[in-house]
Amino acid sequence: MAEVSIDGRDLVIRIEGLDKLLALKSRLTIPLANVRGATADPGIIKERKGIRAPGTHLPRVVTAGTFHIDGERVFWDVRDPDKAVVIELADEHYARLVVQVDNPADVVALIEKARAPR
């Protein structure tokens, strides 16, 4: 599971618990200027994952880590697809982040509000 927060002009994703080991990451920091948007998407789990490098994929159990598909890197940390949020990025190491959060609607709203012009 991931904890998503805004710190100044950055989106911060903290990977929690055992998922740190499975995903081989504990934290991602992305400038908000590089965040294109966020959506709650439980159906994303059915998407082809591509090549795992490095990461963990146990179908219907956990998908965590870096996956390469169609020339893009995607970071995953999902156990429960009903709680999945997809964060689209530009000009970053990853093209997308797919993370499980406690309340997807709240996280999407947080990200979209932080992206809004001030």
Going by pLDDT thresholds of 50, 70 and 90, the confidence category of residue 117 is: confident
27-52 burial string, b = 16+ CB within 10 Å, else e? ebebeeeebeebebeeebbeeebbee
pLDDT above 90: residue 105: yes
75-99 pLDDT per residue, tens? 999 999 999 999 999 999 999 999 9
Q: What is the pLDDT of residues 28-64, one digit of tens each?
A: 999 999 999 999 999 998 888 888 888 898 888 999 9
pLDDT at 60: 85
Q: Are 109 and 103 within 8 A, CB to CB?
A: no
* Global pTM value: 0.94
**Residue 3: both structure tokens together:** 């904890």
The answer to whether residue 106 scores a pLDDT higher than 90 is yes
Q: Which domains does the chain have, with CATH numbers?
A: 2-115 (2.30.29)
In the chain, how many H helices and how many E strands? Answer: 2, 9
Dist. CA 13–CA 30, nearest whole Å? 8
Q: Which residues of 102-116 are buried (b: 16+ CB within 10 A; e: fewer)?
A: eebeebbebbeebee
Task: Give yes or no for a contact between 24 and 77, defined as CB atoms under 8 angstroms apart.
Answer: no
Q: Is a pLDDT exceeding 70 seen at residue 118?
A: no
